[in-house]
Amino acid sequence: MPRILHIDASARPGLAGRDEHGSHSRNLSHRFIHRWREERPNDPVTHREVGLSPPAFIDQRWIEAAFAPQARRQPWMADVLAESDRLVDELVAADVLVIGSPLYNFGMPAALKAWVDQIVRVGRTVDFDPSQPEDPFTPLLADRPRQAIILSARGGEGFEPGGPLAHMNHLEPALITVLEFIGINRIHRVAIEYQEAGGDLLAASVANANKKVDALADQLLSELADTTAVPA
């Protein structure tokens, strides 16, 4: 039974089209989860709300604790890393990671970056071997297949791969870099654009993204059914 980790990173608490100033990225992530649960209602889903309840920023004590050799671990370090351990445990347990995030000023929201900094952990999600200088990192989440779905919303347009503003999009590329670094390589992305323009352009982008989210959920559900089917 696959486990899903659902992360929302928007600072907007509501849903676009229903609540005033609601979130489009949150709409996409909830749509994916709803579609999945229609087919597999018993799959466990953990919802981590980083946009409204951001993780703590890492500080000097966090860094000291995270990089302390086992022989030099002190009791206070467990308390400092307790939140990070919870977030890492959620991620390690997940087979499907769904991230809903807006593009803020060309990159990810600070709350989502705080989550990233909490889950990229030496000894937990990646290993580091300085004796292998040409390839010192080993991703620890490559132990089994995992899927990641990045569902985003942008004010402007042209930020998609190959688009005229693709070089200014530091949301999906940054997340993909992080996820691949820790061992999650099956990554999918769907985005809404034209929030600033609104009107028909936004409506068409929303409708297109919704179709893509439904198709992606159906594709992954079909693949899951194929891998778990009992041979005749």
User: β-pairing, 4-8 with 45-49?
Assistant: parallel
The closest alpha carbon to 25, from 176, 151, 212, belongs to 151
Choose among 123, 139, 136, 130: nearest CA to 73: 123
Consult the annotation and say whether 10 binds a ligand: yes
Alpha helices in the chain (DSSP H): 24-39, 60-66, 75-80, 82-93, 110-119, 172-182, 199-228
**Location of structure tokens 């409506």:** 203
25 annotated to a ligand binding site: yes
Instruction: Please check if 131 is assigned to a binding site.
Output: no
In this structure, are residues 62 and 84 in contact, taking their beta carbons and an 8 Å threshold? yes
Report the distance separating Cα 24 and Cα 13, nearest Å: 11
| Residue 101 annotated as binding site | no
Detail the residues annotated as belonging to a binding site for FMN: 10, 23-25
